[in-house]
Amino acid sequence: MRTFVHTSHPARVVFGSGTVDRLAEEVRRLDGKRVLLVSGPGLEDAALRVRDALGDLVIAEFDGAAMHTPVEVTERALTVLREADADCLVSVGGGSTTGLSKALALRTDLPQVVVPTTYAGSEVTPVLGETRDGRKTTQASPAILPETVVYDVDLTLSLPLAMSVTSGVNAMAHAVEALYSPDADPVTDRQALDAISRIARALPRLAADPADHEARADLLQGAWLAGTCLATVGMALHHKLCHTLGGGFDLPHAETHTVILPHVLAYNAPTAPDVLRRIAEALDVPDAASGLYDLVASLGGPTSLRELGMPESGLAEAAEAAVATPYPNPRELTVEGVEELLTDAWNGRRPK
Ligand code: NAD
């Protein structure tokens, strides 16, 4: 018999095509009358679409969201928010924009409506990572969790294929680690397997036809399910390594997840054979680690830490940092074992 505790976070999710047109109604549901619209560089078209949908509800805008949520940026946005006397946050963008919205909500307790345009999954988690003086710290609080998420497939159509691949694998990583988490339960298992298979099936379809609306819908739905897993259960070696590499060596977020995931699967394979078998089935390949590596390679995605700018001299330090504090992982964590994993990932070797 399996023993478990399942917690669901209280978020409202609206999913579909053209759902941005329901934003004003969603803001009013939260008693919002004065919206601060939050976005970031490169999101001008999406922000325009959201502004049009919200009309007079928007009283101020901040379009300076940056990767890893620097506190200086949050403070500038907070000044805009206070001067405008905003009573609701609406953000549109990827994990960086969502991070800024969460940082503002944490400081003001304003309700948030988040419109995600990547597959990072942050919109459904009560977790915030912020950077101060180059150091990233993470905290969790119910005040951080967005009240409403509006997924509009139309706003994801502009995400370039390369970013769709890396962001899709970023989502897949949440689902993979949820499956072998000690906190896993029957709900997260089903969500995780569905997310993995949706993302794995959608990415090649998107590569064949970048305008494939159904493939985009599968990716976004997979991202929601995977993000929900991330919010519900603890993560393991993969997330620890990506956090260490992103924070310590300034490597790009989704790309780092994409390179590392096949190698973590290979590392954990000997001690979690049943989970790895289920992941392989969801991916529709004989072996999860090499199958995922081949999928990424076939889509032109990054396969080595070297191409992301990781210095080879930093691998030992990263391995030590990743095992410095204990956390649950299917296979025992040793500095030598993790350094070997990182060396394989640095060289871009196909896992055996
Ligand atoms: P991102 O938000 O930085 O976006 C990457 C780039 O994609 C940006 O230049 C952006 O302008 C562009 N972009 C986004 N959507 C687009 C679209 N539809 N069309 C064209 N361009 C688009 O990257 P990300 O990978 O989504 O998020 C990474 C950040 O999110 C990191 O800081 C990470 O730590 C955080 N994150 C947090 C959580 C959490 O639960 N707290 C979960 C996942 C990620």
Where residue 184 sits, what CATH number does that domain have?
1.20.1090.10
Please check the confidence at residue 127 and state whether its pLDDT lies above 90.
yes
Q: pLDDT tier at 136 (50, 70, 90 boundaries)?
A: confident
Mean pLDDT on 305-327: 96
In 3D space, the residue among 352, 342, 347 whose CA is nearest the CA of residue 307 turns out to be: 347
In-domain check, residue 39: yes
Q: Is 186 exposed, middle or buried (0-12, 13-18, 19+ CB in 10 A)?
A: exposed
In-domain check, residue 5: no
Whether residues 324 and 277 share a domain: the answer is: yes
Enumerate residues lining ligand 1, CB below 6 A. Answer: 40-43, 67-68, 93-97, 99, 117-118, 120-122, 125, 127-129, 155-156, 158-159, 163, 167, 230, 253-254
Please check the confidence at residue 240 and state whether its pLDDT lies above 90.
yes
User: 254 CA distance to ligand 1 centroid (A)?
Assistant: 8
Please check the confidence at residue 247 and state whether its pLDDT lies above 90.
no
Q: Please state, in angstroms and rounded to a whole number, the distance separating the CA atoms of residues 140 and 65.
A: 20
What is the extent of the structural domain holding 257?
Answer: 161-347
127, 228, 253, 257, best to mutate for ligand 1 pocket (most atoms within 8 Å of CB): 253
ipTM computed for the complex: 0.99
Whether residues 176 and 70 share a domain: the answer is: no
Please check the confidence at residue 236 and state whether its pLDDT lies above 90.
yes
Whether residues 343 and 215 share a domain: the answer is: yes
What is the DSSP pairing of strand 112-116 with strand 148-152? Answer: parallel
112, 117, 128, 245, best to mutate for ligand 1 pocket (most atoms within 8 Å of CB): 117
In-domain check, residue 262: yes
Whether residues 151 and 259 share a domain: the answer is: no
Within 10 A of 277 (CB to CB), how many other CB atoms are there? 13
Of 67-71, 234-238, 302-306, the poorest mean pLDDT is in: 67-71
Please check the confidence at residue 248 and state whether its pLDDT lies above 90.
no
User: 92 CA distance to ligand 1 centroid (A)?
Assistant: 10
Structure tokens at 323: 């095992």
Q: pLDDT tier at 134 (50, 70, 90 boundaries)?
A: confident
pLDDT tens track for 169-220: 999 999 999 999 999 999 999 999 999 999 999 999 999 998 999 999 999 9
What is the domain count for the chain?
2
**Mean pLDDT of the residues in the chain:** 97
CATH number of the domain that 91 lies in? Answer: 3.40.50.1970
In-domain check, residue 6: no
Whether residues 152 and 221 share a domain: the answer is: no
Whether residues 193 and 297 share a domain: the answer is: yes
Q: Which helix (H) or strand (E) holds 139?
A: strand 135-140
pLDDT tens track for 90-110: 999 999 999 999 999 999 999
DSSP letters spanning 174-213: HHHHHHT-TT--HHHHHHHHHHHHHHHHHHHHHHH-TT-H
Residues ≥6 apart with Cβ < 8 Å to 29: 148
Please check the confidence at residue 288 and state whether its pLDDT lies above 90.
yes
Residue 135 has what pLDDT?
A: 78
